[in-house]
Chains A and B, each alone.
Chain A
Amino acid sequence: MTGKKLHARDIGASAAPADTASIGRQLHTALSALKRAPLVPTSILGILISFAVFAPLIAPHNPIKIDIMANLTPPVWHEGGSSQYLLGTDKLGRDVLSRMIYGSRLSLSLSLIVIFLGGTTGVLLGMISGYLGGFVDALIQRSVEAMLALPTILVALVFVFTFGFGFWNVVFILSPFIAARFARMVRGETLSIKERDYVASAKVIGTSKAGIILRHILPNVANTVIVLATLEVGHLILVESSLSFLGVGIPPPNPAWGLMVSEGREYIATAYWISLFPGIAILAAVLSLNLFGDWLRDVLDPRRKQL
């Protein structure tokens, strides 16, 4: 990335232990740091989110409208291309660009729902597991590890075999995997936080376990959770598009990116644009999320700094 890297010391406040009062201040610091966010990934994410939100206003065509007369029209810069279909059309004459724009809706909404469901469950389990210890901890940790040992895509195949496929089925299969990843990370954080003085003082003044977890542990794992959530959205987009590509994720005629790449496969020799562009959309989305998440980690969670 760019030569100048932002370090925790630049925004000293976020490294200090947080309590409920300072979480607002932390948020403020984070927002002001956002001005220094890496330009390209942040812009790409901004564009993708606006595509997803305003798809009907931006997309030039209906993403599932079939126009067989215009099928396999090449992108506008090729001979035979039409300014009506900037990135060309697929085998049924559907506009590739419009499908990509609507596709951002599917990918982002699915990933965000899974992150919300799995993340919330995982954070709660992780905090409970780390704070309570003992039998509860053992039970949760053993289950989390067993979950993480499963081959995700193959398990998704069995699941799809049993319950059929579709948007909500994908949400249902992927959420437990995300929950397990969050639980493991948050438990580790909780173990170190619960040794701190302010947790001990809260215990002395008689704060309940639930109170300590929600008021003292949660604000302090927030940064780690935000970073992990950003990175996991990217990861989820990859997994969802793989499932859709295999024909066991989001069903046709939905314009899921993975599905579009798969639909272009048999035309790869003659109509490369059907597969190429949706794949670039996936790559751009995931790459931006990874770069943004990496930057966010430097800012919010400097201890976990990586490459």
Chain B
Amino acid sequence: MASYLLNRFAQSLINIFFITILVFLLARATGDPAAALVPDDLPEAAVIELRARLGLDKPLIHQYWLFVQDIASGDLGMSIKGHRPVIDMIIERIPATFSLALAALVIAMAMGIPLGVLSAVYRDTFIDRVAKVVAFLGQSTPPFWLAIMLILFFGVFLFEQGLPSLPVSGRGGPATYIMPAFAMGWAVTAGVLRITRSSMLDVLDSDYMTMARAKGLSETTVIWKHALRNALIPVVTYFGLIIAAFMNGSVVIEQVFAWPGLGRLALVAVTGRDFPVVQGVVITVGVFLIVINLAVDILYAFIDPRIRYTKQ
């Protein structure tokens, strides 16, 4: 197990190197950062001095090292438009993005797991076909379109009919979470459903299920306690992908619902030509995903005996 963990740890470092060097090179490709910071009429000497202060006169590799040091110390630079440290703007937006992701996760689990279990237990029946439809639709629906259609029905149509409707934009009480969380969780529901179903099918075929039944346990206990607990192990590995899907989805969904999170921050910064903010969000989210994936790998190593007892 130690070599497995070491391997995952090394890969995480490589991933962090990869994303920082990518963003660093793209940042340099946008042009001379010093030129962007100084007014046109500044004397040449001042520009040279500024370049020296920013470390831009040093070789590229040295500049990269300075860049990484800044990031590691939590300094993501200043926003060009906001005139404040990027890190502050990001920290401000984190609760909105995370609470939305959490709500979407709850929705995806609440729909995907029971449906996955039922479709495995009642294989090739009506309920299994319903699950298949959900799985295929979830994978195929464009999230931004789903979001707008939800607004059309729950926001516009119900409102016009004089029925209780849902708020269509902004973050506030629990009601504001329903549509964005569903739009974001829908695609992930499909994934959770698929994995739960296939791992449930594996578990249902196993000997200890026969054993549990032989002990005289009720079918409900056998399925929802014994089988599900084991079937959920592969779902854990899927967690890293879910979080990645939410972080990508947040750009789109936050845009539709005017949700004040990280995704919207990045998109607005792209439109407003505010590079430090775009770069800050990408690095923060990228590193966060790498850390989450490492955590999932470690967790998995501990709960899955096949990895726990592997000696290499």
Please state if B11 and A155 are interface contacts (CB–CB under 8 Å).
no
Please state if A147 and B156 are interface contacts (CB–CB under 8 Å).
no
Shortest distance from the beta carbon of B279 to any chain A beta carbon, whole Å: 7
- What string of 1s and 0s marks CB contacts (under 8 Å) between B214-235 and chain A? 0000000000000000000000
Instruction: Verify if B271 is at the interface (C-beta below 8 Å from A).
Output: yes
Chain A residues numbered 258-307 whose CB sits less than 8 Å from any CB in chain B = 258, 261-262, 264-265, 268-269, 272, 275-276, 278-279, 282-283, 286-287, 290-291, 294, 306-307
- What string of 1s and 0s marks CB contacts (under 8 Å) between B6-35 and chain A? 000001001101110011001101100000
Shortest distance from the beta carbon of A245 to any chain B beta carbon, whole Å: 5
Which secondary structure dominates chain A's binding surface? helix
Please state if B140 and A290 are interface contacts (CB–CB under 8 Å).
yes
**Which of A155, A258, A282 has the largest count of B CB atoms less than 10 A from its CB?**
A155
On chain A, the residues within 8 Å of B210 by CB distance are none
Please state if A247 and B140 are interface contacts (CB–CB under 8 Å).
no
Please state if A155 and B149 are interface contacts (CB–CB under 8 Å).
no
B136 touches which of A163, A242, A291 (Cβ 8 Å): A291
Instruction: Verify if B266 is at the interface (C-beta below 8 Å from A).
Output: yes
**Which of A162, A261, A290 has the largest count of B CB atoms less than 10 A from its CB?**
A162
Given A162-B30, A265-B256, A279-B142: A155 touches B15 (CB 8 Å cut-off): no
Please state if B142 and A157 are interface contacts (CB–CB under 8 Å).
no
Given A162-B30, A246-B251, A291-B136: A157 touches B148 (CB 8 Å cut-off): no
Given A248-B270, A261-B148: A155 touches B282 (CB 8 Å cut-off): yes
When chains A and B are docked, how far (Å) is the Cα of A272 from the Cα of B160?
A: 14
Interface size class of A (residues with CB under 8 A): 35 or more
When chains A and B are docked, how far (Å) is the Cα of A276 from the Cα of B256?
A: 15
Given A151-B286, A241-B142, A279-B148: A306 touches B18 (CB 8 Å cut-off): no
Instruction: Verify if B141 is at the interface (C-beta below 8 Å from A).
Output: yes
B248 touches which of A152, A283, A294 (Cβ 8 Å): A152
Instruction: Verify if A1 is at the interface (C-beta below 8 Å from B).
Output: yes
Given A154-B281, A157-B266: A283 touches B19 (CB 8 Å cut-off): no
Interface size class of B (residues with CB under 8 A): 35 or more
Please state if A307 and B248 are interface contacts (CB–CB under 8 Å).
no
On chain B, the residues within 8 Å of A226 by CB distance are none
Shortest distance from the beta carbon of B146 to any chain A beta carbon, whole Å: 8
Please state if A246 and B255 are interface contacts (CB–CB under 8 Å).
yes
Instruction: Verify if A234 is at the interface (C-beta below 8 Å from B).
Output: yes
Shortest distance from the beta carbon of B180 to any chain A beta carbon, whole Å: 15
Please state if A151 and B141 are interface contacts (CB–CB under 8 Å).
no
Given A158-B279, A268-B151: A307 touches B15 (CB 8 Å cut-off): no
- What string of 1s and 0s marks CB contacts (under 8 Å) between B224-255 and chain A? 00000000000000000000100110011001
Given A157-B282, A161-B275, A306-B198: A151 touches B270 (CB 8 Å cut-off): no
On chain B, the residues within 8 Å of A236 by CB distance are none
Please state if B144 and A161 are interface contacts (CB–CB under 8 Å).
no
On chain A, the residues within 8 Å of B139 by CB distance are 234, 286, 290
On chain B, the residues within 8 Å of A291 by CB distance are 136
Please state if A151 and B248 are interface contacts (CB–CB under 8 Å).
yes
Please state if B156 and A268 are interface contacts (CB–CB under 8 Å).
yes
Shortest distance from the beta carbon of A2 to any chain B beta carbon, whole Å: 10
On chain B, the residues within 8 Å of A264 by CB distance are 148
Instruction: Verify if A145 is at the interface (C-beta below 8 Å from B).
Output: yes
When chains A and B are docked, how far (Å) is the Cα of A98 from the Cα of B109?
A: 40
Chain B residue with the shortest CB-CB distance to A238: B142
Shortest distance from the beta carbon of A291 to any chain B beta carbon, whole Å: 6
On chain A, the residues within 8 Å of B26 by CB distance are 158-159, 161-162
When chains A and B are docked, how far (Å) is the Cα of A261 from the Cα of B255?
A: 13
Please state if B282 and A158 are interface contacts (CB–CB under 8 Å).
yes
On chain A, the residues within 8 Å of B152 by CB distance are 268, 272, 275-276
B244 touches which of A146, A151, A234, A246 (Cβ 8 Å): A151
Instruction: Verify if B127 is at the interface (C-beta below 8 Å from A).
Output: no
Given A162-B29, A290-B136: A157 touches B267 (CB 8 Å cut-off): yes
9 smallest A-B Cβ distances: which pairs? Answer: A279-B145, A146-B18, A287-B140, A286-B140, A153-B248, A149-B15, A245-B144, A146-B15, A162-B26
**21 contacting pairs across A/B (C-beta < 8 A):** A146-B17, A150-B22, A154-B247, A154-B248, A154-B266, A155-B22, A158-B282, A161-B270, A162-B29, A238-B140, A242-B252, A261-B142, A265-B256, A278-B145, A279-B145, A279-B149, A282-B142, A283-B140, A286-B142, A290-B139, A307-B132
Further 17 A-B residue pairs, CB within 8 A, beyond A242-B252, A282-B145: A1-B132, A149-B15, A149-B293, A154-B248, A154-B251, A158-B23, A158-B26, A161-B26, A161-B278, A241-B144, A245-B144, A261-B142, A261-B144, A262-B144, A268-B148, A275-B145, A276-B152
